[in-house]
Amino acid sequence: MDKKTAVAQLGAIAQEARLDIFRLLVQAGTPGLAAGAISETLNIPNSTLSFHLKELSHAGLIAARQESRFIYYSADYAAMNGLLAYLTENCCAGDTACCPDSYCSPPQKG
């Protein structure tokens, strides 16, 4: 994981609207949701939503796929897991027991 990438991805979700969007997609699973459905669910105007979707997409946290007139957005789970692993990498100098939950991770390549 590249540091610039991590900063971009964290910045992408460090914003209320985008955090809502991302979590909604994380919970929606691989099929994802159409832009209109997201807009309705979260009550975000189209132009604003479009701006935020582009930010998330540009950061690599979500993917878009066109299907007829709709564009479906879905969470990129591999990217999400990569980011979480980067944050917890080599936690407590490798002593994973120091973390109460299961998030500590050994060092990653890259």
Partner DNA sequence: ACTATATTTCCATAAATATAGAAATATTTC
Partner DNA sequence: GAAATATTTCTATATTTATGGAAATATAGT
Residues that bind its own copies (CB under 8 A): 3-4, 6-7, 10-11, 13-16, 19-20, 22-23, 26-30, 77-78, 80-81, 84-93, 95, 98-103
> In the complex with its own copies, which residue's Cβ is closer, 41 or 87?
87
> In the complex with its own copies, which residue's Cβ is closer, 13 or 53?
13
Q: How far is CA 29 from CA 36, 74, 101, in A?
A: 17, 7, 24
Tokens (6 digits) for 48? 């604003």
* CB 69 to its own copies: min, Å: 25
* CB 93 to its own copies: min, Å: 6
Residue 58, class by beta-carbon neighbours within 10 Å (0-12 exposed, 13-18 middle, 19+ buried)? exposed
Q: Which does 80 bind (CB under 5 to 8 A by kind): DNA, its own copies, none?
A: its own copies
Q: What is the 3-state secondary structure (H, E, C) of 15-66?
A: CHHHHHHHHHHHHHCCCCEEHHHHHHHHCCCHHHHHHHHHHHHHCCCEEEEE
> In the complex with DNA, which residue's Cβ is closer, 44 or 80?
44
Binding site for DNA (CB under 7 A): 11, 15-18, 34-37, 39, 44-55, 64, 66, 68-71
